[in-house]
Amino acid sequence: MKKMLLLVVAVMLTIGLAACGSSNNANNSTNQGAGETNNGGAEELSGSILAVGSTALQPLVDQVSKKFMETNPGVTIQVQGGGSGTGLTQVAGGQAQIGNSDIFAEEKFKDADAALAEGLVDHQVAVVAMSTVVNKDVGIDSLTKQQLVDIFTGKVTNWKDVGGVDEKITIINRPSSSGTRKTFETYALGTKTEDLQGSIQEDSSGTVKKLVGETPGAIGYLALSYLDDSVKTVKYDGVEASEATVIDGSYPVWAYEHMYTKGEPDAATAAFLAYMLTDEVQNADVTELGYIPVNKMQVKRDVDGNVTK
């Protein structure tokens, strides 16, 4: 008898919890760890932070958040992927404290949604550079901007037309909504492209690398941290993609990694974002994971793509 009653109670509780679950996410900033002793002398931080968005930035935020939580036991940081669009939507809607994005919020929130970008504060934490990569057998090691445009718009379909071997070009692209593709189109091609018949669209960098490495005549683009011997990197207008050429501004295909907050962040979030920019993180975790430290950059770029020294 009692067991049955318990069962009924359990079921009702489950339903109740499921119903509350969605609303709980909204108020994540409840204070926790009030009883913890403070060793550092400074005011102790507490709270919980939810960082959602870009999968390209996720490994960095994840790794840094673990270090941050070790020194600040009162703070809980949860890092989730889901894509730049999800991150920006959630931070603008107040479901997450931090929205990770590969591109400027202004580029994502367009037309009817433009107002959503206004309340967001940008925190640039790293730089990601991309290099054009090709399959090893195409016999090319430099492409001009115009040649790239011709390839990605389908004007040139054989490698022999750009000085390579006689082999059909297979484009391994990113989905049209992807931040990586947007960066490549804006800074390498300078034009929007359509998904061509026969082209391949993959979202994950690992899959792109695998396909470029294995498919004869393939061309794609990858973040510098993904490059290895399985693919051949191609110079852009004669400039090799490397940390040095990105820092001094001679290689243009790069983008900031953004961590957006809605308005000014609370104490714990602000401290975490400040920690991301310390030399301790920038010179260790950032470079270790293949990003370029944002404070080393000798050039700056604004939303409209204007580059200043």
Partner 1 sequence: MEQPAVKGQKVAFVKPHVREEWIGRIYTTLCILFLIVTIVAIVYFVASKGLSTFFKNGVNIGDLLTGLKWNPEGEPPLFGALPFIFGSFSTSLLAALIAAPLGCCAAIFMTQIMPGVGRKYLQPVIELLAGIPSVVYGFVGLSVIVPMLRAIFPGQGIGIMAGSLVLAVMILPTITTIATDALAALPSGLKEGSFALGATRWQTIYRIVIPTTLPALLTGVVLGMSRAFGEALAVQMVIGNAPHIPRSLFESTSTLTSAITLSMGNTITGSAHNNALWSLALILLTMTFIFVFIVRVLERRNHR
Is 23 a residue that touches partner 1 (CB under 8 A)?
no
Binding segment for partner 1 among 83-91, 119-127, 139-147, 264-272 (CB under 8 A)?
83-91
**Contacts (CB under 8 A) with partner 1, residues 172-201:** 175-179, 192, 194-201
The contact mask relative to partner 1 for 35-74 (x = CB under 8 A, - = no) is --------------------x-------------------
Question: Are the beta carbons of 32 and 47 closer than 8 angstroms?
Answer: yes
Question: Are the beta carbons of 61 and 51 closer than 8 angstroms?
Answer: yes
Amino acid at the residue 202: E
User: Binding-site residue total for partner 1 (CB under 8 A)?
Assistant: 47
Separation CA 125–CA 57 (nearest Å): 9
CB of 150 to partner 1, least distance (A): 19
Separation CA 242–CA 292 (nearest Å): 10
Exposure letters 153-175 (e unless 16+ CB within 10 A, then b)? eeebeebeebebeebebbbbbbe
**Contacts (CB under 8 A) with partner 1, residues 93-112:** 93, 108-110, 112
Is 15 a residue that touches partner 1 (CB under 8 A)?
yes
Is 139 a residue that touches partner 1 (CB under 8 A)?
no
Structure tokens given for 143: 């492409």
CB of 161 to partner 1, least distance (A): 19
Is 251 a residue that touches partner 1 (CB under 8 A)?
no
Among 24, 36, 113, 278, binds partner 1 (CB under 8 A): 113
Separation CA 93–CA 212 (nearest Å): 38
Separation CA 14–CA 190 (nearest Å): 53
Beta strands in 119-252, from DSSP E residues, in sequence order: 120-121, 124-134, 142-143, 170-173, 200-201, 218-223, 232-236
Question: Interface with partner 1 by CB under 8 A: which residues?
Answer: 1-2, 4-5, 7-8, 11-12, 15, 55, 81-86, 88-89, 93, 108-110, 112-113, 116, 170, 175-179, 192, 194-203, 207, 210-211, 214-215
